[in-house]
Amino acid sequence: MTEHSQLDDFERTGGGAVLMDGNRLRDEIVAELNAEITAAGSPEVCLATVLVGDDKPSRIYVRNKQRKAAEAAMVSRHVELGADAAQGEVEEAVRDLASNPGVHGILVQLPLPEGLDADAVLELIPPEKDVDGLTPRSMGRLVRGQPGHVPCTPLGVMRLLDRYGVPTSGTRAVVIGRSTLVGLPQILLLGRKGVDATPTLAHSRTPELQAVCQQADILVAAAGMARLVTADYVKPGAAVIDVGISRTADGIVGDVDFDAVQEVAGAVTPMPGGTGPMTIACLLQNTLAGARMLGAFPA
Ligand code: NAP
């Protein structure tokens, strides 16, 4: 249990579950980063974003990241290329940022337009600047328990669990989804020594998904299937974390049927306002860590 384990202190949903408020925790983290950078004499800590094409949600994500970087007293630099950019142009832009000593984190907003090889672009990001934690070198470090950047969305989930006093040691966890962006690193983080949950990785071929989920003390839904997790998937008292984002006629919908699940769960994230803001908060924390690794910020 952490110092924040007094669940009584937290806001609850109408059904009595603790509301794991990602906006609130993001704001706390951004304020802490601002205080840390200011106290160090405001050295320049720079996050570079690369946007290729005109995908509207991607543009909004990038804008939000830049806005929060500014609130954290960080500088951002933005490179934008048209949807018809050639592979070589995108690689050239990332190479420039990789070799620029004034840049401490590089975020290539995914997905890239069709026809571009995202893996080849990500490979160009040095591990210290790989603040999204998505390159094979960062992933390898995570698997081997070596220091490095951890992917922001699963890291944000871990921060929420910690902040809201959800115990992990000795618990059963189920993660729905096995992508390298979310599900796989999530399993590694939950099973790490010191965290000590026993995670199960579920996916579209998992038989009896509902029964598997009912075993979970911690359930992380990252499938991208609107309202997949209904109340009867949830063990009473479990912590349920919604990562999924589906754009439907009703607007943006998560993987969790929030209204029903909050009646059963012990703690639950809202959607929006749960894991999304935490992804940005962790990106900024990784950027400051990157500046430290590069010797551009006091250790
Ligand atoms: P992805 O690469 O499409 O992976 C989805 C995973 O879910 C796959 O492993 C898939 O299984 C599994 N899955 C799909 N339908 C399922 C079902 N009915 N039952 C069980 N498993 C199922 O997606 P992703 O990149 O991991 O993203 C997942 C979701 O999170 C998306 O909605 C994405 O928009 C959202 N997201 C949110 C944030 C955030 O900050 N909140 C960040 C990143 C992503 P198979 O492997 O068998 O196909």
Mean pLDDT by 10 residues, the chain (299 residues): 57 97 98 98 98 94 97 97 98 98 98 97 97 96 96 98 98 98 98 98 98 98 98 98 94 96 98 97 98 96
d(CA 234, CA 237): 8
For atom 1 of ligand 1, the residue with the nearest CA is 179
pLDDT at 6: 55
The sign of the torsion formed by the CA atoms of 33, 289, 194, 217 equals positive
Order of all β-strands in the sheet with 198-202: 18-19, 267-268, 239-242, 218-221, 172-176, 198-202
**Per-residue confidence (pLDDT) for residue 250, from 0 to 100:** 86
Say which amino acid occupies 132. D
Provide CB contacts within 8 A for 194, sequence distance 6+: none
Annotated active-site residue in 21, 129, 130, 132: 132
pTM: 0.96
Residue owning tokens 């439907």: 248
Q: Would residue 109 show up in a list of annotated catalytic residues for this protein? A: yes
Q: Matching CATH topology for 4-20+164-276 and 41-126?
A: yes
pLDDT value at residue 1: 41
| Domain 4-20+164-276 bears CATH identifier 3.40.50.720 | yes
Tell me the CA–centroid distance for residue 293 and ligand 1, in Å. 31
Give the pLDDT confidence score for residue 4 in this predicted structure.
47
d(CA 112, CA 84): 11
Q: Which CATH class is domain 41-126?
A: alpha beta
H-only helix segments in the chain: 22-39, 56-71, 87-99, 118-122, 136-144, 152-163, 183-191, 209-214, 258-261, 275-293
Q: Choosing from 109, 186, 262, 285, which is the catalytic residue?
A: 109
Distance 62 CA to ligand 1 centre (A): 21
Among residues 293, 296, 294, 269, the alpha carbon closest in space to that of 26 is found at 269
The residues lining ligand 1, judged by C-beta closer than 6 Å to any ligand atom, are 153, 176-179, 181-183, 202-206, 209, 222-225, 228, 243-246, 275-276, 279
Q: Which atom of ligand 1 is nearest to the CA of 278?
A: 40
Residue-range domain boundaries for the chain: 4-20+164-276, 41-126
**Would you say 152 and 93 are in contact if contact means Cβ atoms under 8 Å apart?**
no
pLDDT at 27 (0 to 100) = 98
Pocket test for ligand 1, best of 243, 253, 269 (most atoms within 8 A of CB): 243
